[in-house]
Amino acid sequence: MNSQEEINDFVRDGYKQYLPHLTIDPVIFGYHDQQLKILLLKWIGYDGWGLPGGFIKRRESLSEAAHRILQDRTGLESVFLQQFQVFGDSPYRVKERSPGEVSGKYGFVVEDSWLFERTLSIGYFALVDYSKVTVTTDFFTNAHQWCDVNEVPALLFDQNEVVDKALITLRHQIYHQPIGYNLLPEKFTLPEIHKLYETILGKELDPRNFAKKLVVLGLIKKLDEQRAIGPHRSPYLYQFEKEAYEYALKHGIVHTY
Amino acid sequence: MNSQEEINDFVRDGYKQYLPHLTIDPVIFGYHDQQLKILLLKWIGYDGWGLPGGFIKRRESLSEAAHRILQDRTGLESVFLQQFQVFGDSPYRVKERSPGEVSGKYGFVVEDSWLFERTLSIGYFALVDYSKVTVTTDFFTNAHQWCDVNEVPALLFDQNEVVDKALITLRHQIYHQPIGYNLLPEKFTLPEIHKLYETILGKELDPRNFAKKLVVLGLIKKLDEQRAIGPHRSPYLYQFEKEAYEYALKHGIVHTY
């Protein structure tokens, strides 16, 4: 959707193809080199930063929609996207939108569009290695940034709340799910996973207790293998207990004790 | 909404008052005397059992809608309702509904209604003491039951999946949230909380390890107080660490270690 004609069609008749009243707004966390960031796009129509969101097609499933939107907006494919909350309480999510707000900057002004109706947002999140991602923008967005989670600017609508809740959920789930699975080598040292957890949780963790607890909780296991990193330094290697997580998630029993 | 005229208005013009495409479907778990049940209503229009669901008004917040729907359908007030998932993937949630399916049994037949459009469902759950609940039904429903979680019949649409996911979420969260808070006396014995947890988790738990773990996880604390229940029996009393939970939920740090 890139020509002016296609955009006009979308504004006027898009509700024939997409469900009104609902958007999907993914929060994409990016970890790399001890930094935790989120992906923001600059939305031309609002002249501000926001999440890479979009609408659900009338005949696609919710999960398909979430993945398509992310791919359309950012080029990201095959990411583990997790739904975490529907946002429908803030004033932005109860009232209708103003036409001027939406349409002015795209080169059209319409008095009435399905886009101005009340819209709830379904929040999803994912965690990726941002050094491996190439983001592409579309007609509605003209820039992107990976923004440090501690320096998020004022976002569109209630999206700062969406980001806050996504971060709380990520921090909660890091003790229960193999969220860090794709961010570390298959076999890693304790300092490596320790730094990953400190970065995601945004606080210091006692290294000895931290390791002990992850092993007791059944999240990681110590291997009978060491990595030689210097003449007198060869730390033991660890691995995620991925099967235990998957069992836990499926059966609702999170702790292995 | 109880007269035939009101119902006809709802079927024809309800979309002016309610958002189309979205329902709220609460799963109400009831615990009492070592039994875990869910609340089902008999929906006249479908001639089957289903959850006590409803639509969101155009100018009410999502949370207000969830509480209103529960109260309208069941008489339940001031319940801690927790959103857990949007359902939009099953075939029932992608296609439109058939008019005959919906309208036949209510005494009207219409060819076209907003009720037949594709509808996603927002799942909420709550846990109450069902012996303290008086359920009232409305025009759309003519019976209710508290059904054992192990004997749930075939429900409307994809609602068996909704119930399964609610149960998984409840079982997950029982280690992290004061879910049992309203189901036990303020001060309780270990056997009391042990039975509550066994019932909700649907499996036996080693009594000694169970208690030790709940204390280590910071969920409960031992009081310097005993309850006299017989000449030689006066077990120690325990209390939920409610403040620790609330801190954890707010800050995303679930474990107190």
- pLDDT tens-place string over residues A29-54: 999 889 999 999 998 877 789 999 99
How big is the A-B interface in CB pairs under 8 Å? Answer: 91
**Cross-chain Cβ contact A168/B257 below 8 Å:** no
Average pLDDT over residues A95-99: 79
- For residues B128 and B76, the answer to whether their CB atoms sit within 8 Å is yes
pLDDT > 80? residue B211: yes
The lowest-confidence range among A116-130, B16-30, B33-47, B93-107 is B93-107
Q: Is the pLDDT of residue A198 over 60?
A: yes
Report helix, strand or coil for B245. helix
Mean local confidence (pLDDT), B182-195: 90
Q: Which residue has the higher pLDDT, A159 or A133?
A: A159
Residue B165 C-alpha, separation from nearest chain A C-alpha, in angstroms: 9
Q: CB distance A94–B167 less than 8 Å?
A: no
Considering only the beta carbons, identify the residue of A21, A60, A85 that sits closest to B22: A21
Query: Which tens digits make up the pLDDT trace of B78-91?
Result: 787 889 999 999 99
Q: Do B63 and A252 touch (CB under 8 A)?
A: no
Q: Which helix (H) or strand (E) holds B144?
A: strand B141-148
Residues of chain A whose beta carbon is less than 8 angstroms from a beta carbon of chain B are 19-22, 56, 58-63, 65, 83, 85-89, 93-95, 118, 120, 122, 167-172, 175-176, 201, 209, 213, 251-255, 257
Mean pLDDT of B99-116: 72
pLDDT in the model for residue A60 = 97
Average pLDDT, chain A: 86
pLDDT digits (tens, 9 = 90+) for B121-143: 999 999 888 888 888 887 788 89
Confidence of residue B257 (pLDDT cuts 50, 70, 90): very low
Partner-chain contact A22 B20, CB within 8 Å: no
Q: Which of A22, A86, A168 sits opposite B83 (nearest CB)?
A: A86
**CB atoms A58 and B252 under 8 Å:** no
* Whether pLDDT at A156 is above 60: yes
pLDDT band of residue B242 (cuts 50, 70, 90) is confident
**Contact (CB<8Å) A62/B87:** yes
Q: Which residues in B lie closer than 8 A to residue A253 (C-beta atoms)? A: 171, 201
d(CA A65, CA A61): 6
pLDDT for B103: 61
Chain A residues inside the 8 Å CB shell of B251: 168
- Pick A118's closest partner by Cβ from B19, B251, B253: B19
Instruction: Please tell me the predicted confidence (pLDDT) of residue B245.
Output: 65
Average pLDDT over residues B51-73: 94
pLDDT at A248: 57
Q: Which pLDDT does position B23 carry in this prediction?
A: 96
Name every residue in B having a CB less than 8 A away from some CB of A.
Answer: 19-22, 56, 58-63, 65, 83, 85-89, 93-95, 118, 120, 122, 167-172, 175-176, 201, 209, 213, 251-255, 257
Highest mean pLDDT among A46-50, A187-191, A217-221: A187-191
Q: How many CB atoms lie within 10 A of CB B75?
A: 12
**Where does the pLDDT of residue B255 fall: very low under 50, low under 70, confident under 90, or very high at 90 and above?**
very low
Mean pLDDT over B170-199 rounds to 85
The letter for the amino acid at A71 is: Q
Share above pLDDT 70 across residues of chain B, in percent, rounded to a whole number? 89
Q: What is the pLDDT of residue A1?
A: 62
Asked if A255 and B201 come within 8 Å (Cβ–Cβ), the reply is: no
Interface contact flag, A22 B21, Cβ < 8 Å: yes
Burial state string for A140-177 with b = 16 or more CB within 10 A and e = fewer than 16? bbeebebbebeebeebbbbbebbbebbbbbbbbbbbbb
For tokens 């926001």, what's the residue? A50
> What integer best gives the mean pLDDT of chain B?
86
Residues of B with Cβ-Cβ distance to A118 under 8 angstroms = 19, 58
Contact between chains at A89 and B253 (C-beta distance less than 8 A): no
Q: Please report the domains of chain B, with CATH numbers, ordered by start residue.
A: 4-173 (3.90.79.10), 179-251 (1.10.10.10)
At A224 the pLDDT is 94
